[in-house]
Structure 1
Amino acid sequence: MFALKRIINSELLSTAVTKCKSSVTKVQRIHSVDVLAKKTGNEIVSLDIHGERLKFPAVWLRDNCQCAQCYHPSARSRTIDWATFNLQVRTTRVTTTDHSVHIAWSDGHRSEFKKNWLKIRSFIPEHQKKYTDTVYKPPKVTWHGDEFPNVFTKHDYNELLTSDKALHDFLHQLSVHGVALVENAPDSELALTNFISKVGFPKQTHYGIQFVVKHVPNTSNVAYLSSNLQVHTDLPYYEYCPGVNMLHCLVQTESNGGENVLSDGHYVAHYMKKNYPEQYRLLTEVEVEWKDVGVEFGNEFFKLHRSPIICLDKHGEISRINFSIPQRGSNFIGKIEDVNPWYEAHTLFMELNLKFSAKFRTKPGNILAFDNIRLLHGRNAYEDSPNNVRQIFGQYIDWDEIYSRLRCLKVKLDKDDSLI
C-alpha cells in the first residue's frame, strides 16, 4: 500500500511538472491524499497552508464548495442540492497557489478555496479554540466583588454611537465580564432606544419594549417598589429569557439608598462546585417552576417556565442562571426528599452571592448594562420626595443580537471577510 501511495504521488508530481513547463503562472504544488482512506470511503486531503500541514475531510470540502453553483455569495449561504449530493465523491486532483487551493472532483465538479478561509476552519483543536474564543463567543472571566472596580469598564455614550472600535470594545467587555457602564447619556426617554438601535433591537416582554422603574404602590412587579429589592435575575419565567438588561438612570434618589447590588452568578456557581458539590448538584438538577401572573397595559399574563437555578449545557458549562424569590412558583417539581436539601442549597447560593457582591450607585446619565442570565442584581431601599422621584428607564436585548453585532464589528475592524 505504501508503495502504491509513492507511485501515485510520483505520477501526480510528474504531471504537475510537465504542465508547469508550459505555463506562465506560478508553480502549483500537488498535495497528497490519504490513499487508504480514499479506498475505504473516508478520504482526507492534506494541505500545506502558511507553513502548517492541515487535514480536511474530502466530503467536508465538497460540501463547502464556494463556487456560484454551490454557494450564494450575497446571501452567504450554501445552495448545493443535497438531494443529489454524493457522499462518495472523491478528489481527482488537488493543487495550490500561494493563496488558494484548487480541487477537481470525481463527478467533474471543480472547487476553489482561499487558504485563509480554510485555515480559519482548520480541524486542529488549537485553531478551533481560537475561532471559538475570537469569533463565536469571547470566553467569560468571572469575578469576586473585590475585583469589581477592575472589571467594571466605563464607556462614553456619544463615542459608542459614532465609533465602531468603541462599540466593539464595550460589547466585548460586556460579554467577557457580564457588566459595563455607559456614561454621559442624554436626559431623554429616547437615549436608551437610540443606543440599543446601534447594537440591534430590543426584546419586548409583557412589560413593554421600554419599562420605567419607579415606585408604584399597586404594582404587578415588586421591582416597582421603593423597598429593598433582593438580588435576582429578571424574567426567569421566560423560556427565551432576555440576555442583557440595560438601565438608564434619569433621576437618582437624594435619600440614602438606591444603591445597586451586583454579583457574578458564574463565580458563585464555580465556588459551590468546588466547595459544596452536593448543593451545587441539587441546584443544577432540581427544576424550579418560575411564575409571573398579572395584568400590564390591559394584557393578562400567566407565565410559567421550569428550569434549575444553575443551567448547564451539554459540555457541563454554565449556560444560564435563574434566581428570583418573588417569582419562584409554589409547585415543587422535584422529589419530596430533595425539598429540605434544596432549600439549604438555595439559601447558600443567595448568601454567597451577597458575600461576593459589589455595590454601585448609578448617576443621571449612566446606563448600567449587565448579563441578565449570569449576574444577580438588586437594589437597596430608598425614599422618594415630592421634588425627587427616582426614575430608571430599562430595556432588554438578547445575546444573539449582541454577539451578532460584535462579530460584524470584528469583520469590519479586522478587514477580514474570511471570518464569514
Structure 2
Amino acid sequence: MFVLRRLHNTKQVNLIKSITENNRQHFQLKRWTHDYLTLEISGENLSFPYVWLRDNCQCEQCFHQSARSRILDWSKFDVNIKPKDVVRNGNSLQVNWNDGHTSKFELSWLKFRSFTPENQQRYIEAIYKPKKITWKGEQFQEICSKHEYDEILNSDQGLYDWLLKLSRYGVALIQNTPNSETAIDAIVERIGFTRRTHYGVKFVVQHVPNTSNVAYQSSNLQMHIDLPYYEYCPGANLLHCLVQTKSFGGENLLSDGHFIAEYMKENYPAQYKLLTELEVEWSDIGEEDSNEFFKLYRAPVICLDKYGAVTRINFSVPQRGSYFPGSIDMVKPWYEAHGLFLALNHQFSAKFKTKEGDILAFDNIRLLHGRNAYEDNNNNVRKLIGAYLDWDEIYSRLRCLKVKLKKDDVVY
C-alpha cells in the first residue's frame, strides 16, 4: 500500500501490479518444482507427495464421510498434479491445486500418516497390528494374563485389555465363565462372529470312541495347530472348560511357534531354511454330521512375509498328508528339521491345567497346543466347548475400541 500511494498515474500502478503478479507466479513455479510438500509439524519436518495429498482429499466431492470411502473419479485423476498455492492456518492446511480443486487437511491428521520410518512404525503398532512379543515356557505364568468373564462382557476397557494381551502374546485366559454350553457365545459376540468350519459353528471336545478327529480322544494329543489344511486358517481358538478331568493328566501344552522359529533361525539356520521354503501338503478327510470333506492345502511349516517375519505356523502330525511335494533328496533333511521343530516346541513349552469356568484363548496360527492323556469315569467326563475366531475380526474390534476409548479421531 505504501508503494501504491507514491505512484502518480494508473499506468505505473498497472505496471507494478503486472510485475508483482509475474513475480508471484514465478515464485510459485519455483516453489513447486518437487513432487512433494514439506511441512514443519510439531517440531518435525515432514514431506507429503502431491499425488498422495490430492488422492486423499477429504472434501465431500472426493470423500464420502459416512461411508469413510474415497469417491473421487480416478479415470480423471492426474498423477502429475501440482499445488498452485498452499496456505497454512493454525492447525490446518489448505492446498489450492492447479486443476482448480481445493483440499483442506488437519495437521494432526497429516502427521499421523507421515512417511518417516519412525512414524510409520508407530502407526503399525498403534492401529494396524500390535507388536507380537515372543516367550518361552518358563515365562508363561508371567505373560498369560487373566481376565474376568463379566468384565469382558460389560466393559469396553476389559474387552480391549483382553484382546490386546491375546494379540501380543498369543494367549490369554478368561476366568469365572458360567457353566453353560452357550456362555462362550457372548464372548464371541463382543468381538464379531465365529468362524464356522466343517466341524460346525462350535465344537465339543470330549472322548468319542469312533471319532472323525483324534482330538476327540482321551489319549495323548500331540502338539499341533488346528486345521492347517485351510488356506485361510481360523486365527484364534477359544476353549471353554465345562468339566475338567479329576484323573492324573489332561494338562494343556502350549508353545510359542514364533519364538521357536526365531530360535531355529539363530541356532539351526539350515533346518530353519528348509521349514520356511519347502511346502508340505496338509489334509483332512472324513465325515462330520453327515457332511463329507476332503481338505488339502500346501504351505511350509514356517510361513514368512516379504520382510522375513513369521506370519503363520503350520504343524500337525495327524493332518500332514502322505504326498510329499518336494524332491526325493529333500525328504530326509526335511524330516530331520521337522523333528527338531517339534522337539524344540516341547523343550520350550508350558504345561498347565485349566479349571472349570476357564476359557483358554490362543493364537491358532502362532501357538502349538497339545494335551496329556487322561481317563474319564462315569461321574467325571472331561468336556470343553470350542469356537474359532478370525484375526480380521479381532483386529477390527481392537481398532474400534482404541478409537472409542482413546478418543483418537485422527485415525479416520
Q: TM-score, normalised by structure 1?
A: 0.91
Does structure 1 residue 191 correspond to structure 2 residue 183?
yes
Question: Residue 16 of structure 2 corresponds to which residue in structure 1?
Answer: none
Does structure 1 residue 296 correspond to structure 2 residue 296?
no
Q: Deviations over 1:366-409 (max 9, x none)?
A: 00000000000000001110011100000000000000000000
Deviation (angstroms), 1:123: 0.6
Q: Give the whole-Å Cα distance in 2 for the aligned partners of 1:71 and 1:223.
A: 50
Q: Deviations over 1:42-89 (max 9, x none)?
A: 521111222222110011000000000000001110001001111122
Match of 1:237 among 219, 222, 229: 229
**Aligned length in residues:** 390
Q: Deviations over 1:214-259 (max 9, x none)?
A: 0001111000000000000000000000000000000000101110
Q: Give the whole-Å Cα distance in 2 for the aligned partners of 1:149 and 1:89.
A: 56
Question: Residue 317 of structure 2 corresponds to which residue in structure 1?
Answer: 325
Match of 2:204 among 198, 208, 212: 212
Q: TM-score, normalised by structure 2?
A: 0.93
Question: Residue 102 of structure 1 corresponds to which residue in structure 2?
Answer: 94
Identity of aligned residues (%): 61
Q: Aligned letter for 1:215?
A: H
Does structure 1 residue 170 correspond to structure 2 residue 162?
yes
Q: Deviations over 1:71-118 (max 9, x none)?
A: 000111000100111112210111112221111000110000111110
Question: Residue 3 of structure 2 corresponds to which residue in structure 1?
Answer: none
Q: Is the contact made by 2:271 and 2:337 (CA closer than 8 Å) also made in structure 1?
A: yes
Does structure 1 residue 129 correspond to structure 2 residue 117?
no
Q: Deviations over 1:258-280 (max 9, x none)?
A: 10000001111100000000000
Does structure 1 residue 143 correspond to structure 2 residue 123?
no
Q: Aligned letter for 2:37?
A: V
Does structure 1 residue 269 correspond to structure 2 residue 261?
yes
**In structure 2, do the counterparts of structure 1 residues 33 and 218 end up closer, same or farther at CA, with 3 Å as the change threshold?**
farther
SS, match of residue 154 in structure 1: strand
Q: Is the contact made by 2:28 and 2:84 (CA closer than 8 Å) also made in structure 1?
A: no
SS, match of residue 253 in structure 1: coil
Larger Rg: 2
Q: Give the whole-Å Cα distance in 2 for the aligned partners of 1:95 and 1:125.
A: 27
In structure 2, stretches of 5+ residues that fail to align are 1-19
SS, match of residue 118 in structure 2: helix
Question: Residue 5 of structure 2 corresponds to which residue in structure 1?
Answer: none
Q: Aligned letter for 1:361?
A: K
Q: Give the whole-Å Cα distance in 2 for the aligned partners of 1:99 and 1:148.
A: 46
Q: Deviations over 1:286-324 (max 9, x none)?
A: 110000000011110000000000001111110000000
**In structure 2, do the counterparts of structure 1 residues 394 and 90 end up closer, same or farther at CA, with 3 Å as the change threshold?**
same
In structure 1, stretches of 5+ residues that fail to align are 1-10, 16-31
Q: Give the whole-Å Cα distance in 2 for the aligned partners of 1:103 and 1:235.
A: 52
Question: Residue 357 of structure 1 corresponds to which residue in structure 2?
Answer: 349
What RMSD in Å do the two structures reach over aligned CA positions?
1.5
Q: Give the whole-Å Cα distance in 1 for the aligned partners of 2:263 and 2:126.
A: 26
Q: Aligned letter for 1:359?
A: K
Q: Give the whole-Å Cα distance in 1 for the aligned partners of 2:241 and 2:29.
A: 63
Q: Give the whole-Å Cα distance in 1 for the aligned partners of 2:29 and 2:294.
A: 60
Deviation (angstroms), 1:35: 4.0
